[in-house]
Structure 1
């Protein structure tokens, strides 16, 4: 059973999948950083200096005790964070589109090999046998 597991793990598909998952995590971190640190400040600048990550609709204000500690945290709909997530999704989708497009372009197109001559059909062989028997 251990040998079967080793054979399974060492197949190309499992190794390729593991590498893809690790690379996806790394690319995700890069894209999140790109969105948070580069794209959203530019979007915020053109939107009048807004920071979308801080945009929210407060449903219930936080309750603060006399000593300054928060007894009940605020309840809010954080729609700005959701906007950041949507922008992140669009950028990830676009990057993946570019990667797949470049990959497909780099693959060599396989030229169709001419089909091998199938030879005579059964009917042709039977006709040849018939003609040979007549002789």
Structure 2
């Protein structure tokens, strides 16, 4: 519930331009993360998984129906688990990084709000009058 309130404060404080910039940067970051997952992470993960390419993991629900002439009558129903897992990994990385960025921004905003305001020094006349009052109080 606390994080929902924190997110609500963030959403209500930002203006449209800030939100648009955030969406563009988030989309660009998601593209970079997807490229990293597909080009670096999955090829490194393949040997660990015994040479299995994660993108090739799929489950065939119903095979394709092929006619006597070799033409496909009905396409195969295939669940591509590998692509889903790769997309899920990308989403988790993007969501985590965006969470850290938003959390950092909220901390900076909170520190700014917590900073005590400097109390301006009283005018010189008031200081002198207080000193005179204190001296008179001592004498009596």
Interval containing the TM-score (normalised by the shorter chain): 0.5 to 0.7
Pairwise CA RMSD of aligned residues? 2.9
CA distance in 1, matches of 2:116, 2:101: 26
Structure 2 residue corresponding to 1:87, chosen from 78, 86, 89: 89
In structure 2, the CA distance between the partners of 1:14 and 1:107, relative to structure 1 (3 Å rule), is closer
Conserved? CA contact 2:30–2:90, under 8 Å: no
Q: Deviations over 1:13-57 (max 9, x none)?
A: 111122222222211111111111111111222111111121111
Aligned to 1:112: 116
Unaligned runs of 5+ in 2: 1-13, 121-140
Aligned to 2:33: 31
Segments of 4+ moved more than 6 angstroms: 105-108
CA distance in 2, matches of 1:115, 1:106: 22
Q: TM-score, normalised by structure 2?
A: 0.59
Number of residue equivalences: 105
CA distance in 2, matches of 1:68, 1:99: 55
Once the 2 structures are TM-superposed, how far is the Cα of residue 69 of structure 1 from its aligned partner? 3.6
In structure 2, the CA distance between the partners of 1:17 and 1:98, relative to structure 1 (3 Å rule), is closer
Aligned to 1:43: 45
